[in-house]
Amino acid sequence: MSAAPNPLESFASAPLERPRPQGAYDLLVTLGSGGMGEVFLASRRGRDGFRKMCVVKKLRPNLEHDEQFRTMFSREGRIAARMNHPNVVSTDEIGEHDGALYLAMEYLEGQTLRGLIGEVVAGEHTVSPLLWVSILCDVLEGLHYIHELRDFDGSQLGLVHGDVSPHNVCLTYDGRVSLIDFGSAVITRDAPSDRELVTGKLGYMSPECVACKPYDRRSDIYSAGIVLWELLAGMRVPRERAVAGMRPKAIPPLSAVMEEISPDLEAIVARAVSIDQKKRYPTAAAMRRDLEGFLERSRRPVRRSALTDLLTGIYGDDRRELDELTRERIAKLEMTASGVRPMRPSMESFSDQMTVKFDRSKLSFLANKPPRIAVATPAVTANAAASQARRPTDDVAPRTEHTPIPMAPAVRHAETFAPGHAHMGPVDDTDVFLGTLARARQRRMLAALFIALLCAGGTAFLVMFQLHFGE
């Protein structure tokens, strides 16, 4: 198995430069993308400052006008909206914004099973086989709920997930295990017997699914068995990539690749990955019962806190980084929505952006006096240079400090100064603060200059007095 990329790296490679609206939601951070959609961490807006964190899955821009993919995306939303189980992600709504379809889903704060496998394969962490078995028990519980789902009239839907893999198993930081992504789900009750379009990951597909033959819930059980085989063996299944029309080879027993393996556990996995559908477990619940029986016989109970401690130890820094980025962008959204400027920051907050220059050449007549300090910032320097190319005309009325400043929702405009001062175009909030600081510095510098002139005049008077009366 290859190491999985960190979710933080996925949004760092193509981040949202600023929060972006999507209907009633604000997209905050890009979490990743798949074959059909892009996934974002988002916040739902409401009245009186209401905000709720969620995940928004958006149809990819190049597929927004493809009717086939729009139909598949809508079907995914209708199927996922029926789910209400702790081991299955819940979906709140399907909507459309500017012609783009999106799904709003529950926010599961954690990592995928694929990401955890990547950390283990890297060799920095180890996981007990019993913990792997416990995780798969929760996956099977979610699968059984999906398989038993009924329509509003009470009839069984015959729902198959169709893409059970480590990529679609989410592990939350509080120890919860949930199935996600129903883009490949099929309602076998309504589906034709011959399926020309098969979606999912080839390495985890059942033989009948690859051959485009009729399949049912036992196809998901086969995929879950492959996942468990790889978790215990610590490697990918060494089998040929099956294609339609080829008879896949049998999965080798775990004892062929592991030095130590319980015969009971090996038999459970072998039954789940049988090539013959009739030899597999009939239901996910039946396989889960056998795995739970194995855990009981091992007499080493697996606590939920074991998964929590493992994820916190591996992803603690990533979690804090994502939390800080989320808080920062939500604060920016609330500031923009309120239309009120933030409080004036302290000088220390701009210490990294300020350059202090001592200009002694212009103060040579006061050799014994402290030098004048000129403070320049990148934003002020850039705006001053731009003002040379576009100075305001005389017909522009100067603004006073009591004149209201027009402010757009997303872009703020700084004040238009009187002739002779720099004229700034659209700027961000930092530039506005720096403009305020510049005016304050000018007042302080004028006061210092006045005091310096008084001192110079007094010195000159004393020198003349001494020269006149000293003789």
Closest CA to 31 of 42, 43, 17, 20: 42
In the predicted structure, residue 110 carries a pLDDT above the cut 90: yes
Rounded to an integer, the average pLDDT of 86-109 is 92
Distance CA 129, CA 120 (A): 12
pTM: 0.68
Give the burial class of 424: count Cβ atoms within 10 A of its Cβ; 0-12 exposed, 13-18 middle, 19 or more buried. buried
- Token pair 């001192």 is found at 455
71-75, 136-140, 199-203: segment of lowest average pLDDT = 199-203
Geometric angle at alpha carbon 296, from 294 and 298, rounded to 5°: 70
Backbone angles phi, psi at 44, to 5 degrees: -90, 130
**pLDDT computed for residue 342 by the predictor:** 52
Q: Helix, strand, coil proportions of the chain in percent (round to 5)?
A: 45, 15, 40
pLDDT band at 452 (very low <50, low <70, confident <90, very high): confident
Rounded to an integer, the average pLDDT of 43-67 is 88
Report DSSP letters for 363-393, one per residue. GGGGTTSPPPEEEE-HHHHHHHHHHHHSPPP
Q: What angle in degrees, to the nearest 10, is found between the helix axes of 304-338 and 129-147? A: 60
**pLDDT computed for residue 274 by the predictor:** 94
Cα dihedral 73, 245, 273, 166 sign: negative
Geometric angle at alpha carbon 197, from 193 and 199, rounded to 5°: 115
Q: Which residues are known to be catalytic?
A: 163
**pLDDT computed for residue 383 by the predictor:** 53
Distance CA 8, CA 101 (A): 25
Distance CA 330, CA 28 (A): 8
pLDDT band at 363 (very low <50, low <70, confident <90, very high): very low
- 102, 56 Cβ separation under 8 angstroms: yes
What would the pLDDT profile of 127-158 be if each residue is shown by its tens digit? 999 999 999 999 999 999 999 999 888 888 89
CB atoms within 10 A of CB 238: 11
**pLDDT computed for residue 426 by the predictor:** 43
Distance CA 223, CA 377 (A): 59
Using CA atoms, how far residue 391 sits from 197, 376, 379, in Å, is 64, 20, 17
The rounded mean pLDDT for the chain is 77
**pLDDT computed for residue 438 by the predictor:** 64
- 167, 112 Cβ separation under 8 angstroms: yes
Between 313 and 421, whose confidence is greater?
313
- Token pair 């002779």 is found at 420
**pLDDT computed for residue 20 by the predictor:** 80
In the predicted structure, residue 244 carries a pLDDT above the cut 50: no
In the predicted structure, residue 306 carries a pLDDT above the cut 80: yes
Which helix (H) or strand (E) is 355 found in, with range? strand 355-358
Distance CA 357, CA 380 (A): 15
**pLDDT computed for residue 436 by the predictor:** 58
**pLDDT computed for residue 195 by the predictor:** 52
Looking from the CA of 439 toward its CB, the CA atoms found within 13 Å total 13
Distance CA 275, CA 30 (A): 39
**pLDDT computed for residue 32 by the predictor:** 83
Using CA atoms, how far residue 375 sits from 81, 114, 411, in Å, is 58, 52, 26
pLDDT band at 336 (very low <50, low <70, confident <90, very high): confident
In the predicted structure, residue 15 carries a pLDDT above the cut 60: no
- 318, 6 Cβ separation under 8 angstroms: yes
- Token pair 């400027």 is found at 341
In the predicted structure, residue 427 carries a pLDDT above the cut 50: no
The residues near 355 (Cβ < 8 Å, ≥ 6 apart) are 375, 376, 377
**pLDDT computed for residue 262 by the predictor:** 93
Backbone angles phi, psi at 360, to 5 degrees: -85, -25
Q: What angle in degrees, to the nearest 10, is found between the helix axes of 129-147 and 284-298? A: 150
Closest CA to 277 of 209, 212, 199: 209
Between 390 and 66, whose confidence is greater?
66
In the predicted structure, residue 467 carries a pLDDT above the cut 50: yes
What would the pLDDT profile of 263-282 be if each residue is shown by its tens digit? 999 999 999 999 999 999 99
Distance CA 233, CA 82 (A): 35
Between 113 and 470, whose confidence is greater?
113
Distance CA 459, CA 364 (A): 15
398 by DSSP, 3-state: which? Answer: coil
Percent of the chain at pLDDT exceeding 70: 70
Indicate the DSSP class of residue 168. Answer: G
CA dihedral 330, 333, 335, 337 (to 10 degrees): -140
Distance CA 138, CA 288 (A): 8
In the predicted structure, residue 26 carries a pLDDT above the cut 80: yes
- 431, 414 Cβ separation under 8 angstroms: yes
Backbone angles phi, psi at 408, to 5 degrees: -80, 165
Rounded to an integer, the average pLDDT of 344-363 is 44
41-55, 72-86, 289-303, 337-351: segment of lowest average pLDDT = 337-351
**The CATH number of domain 7-328, selected from 1.10.1760.20, 3.90.79.10, 3.40.50.300, 1.10.510.10:** 1.10.510.10
Extents of the domains making up the chain:
7-328, 345-470
The span from the first CA to the last CA of the chain, in angstroms, equals 99
Distance CA 398, CA 418 (A): 5
In the predicted structure, residue 322 carries a pLDDT above the cut 80: yes
CB atoms within 10 A of CB 45: 16
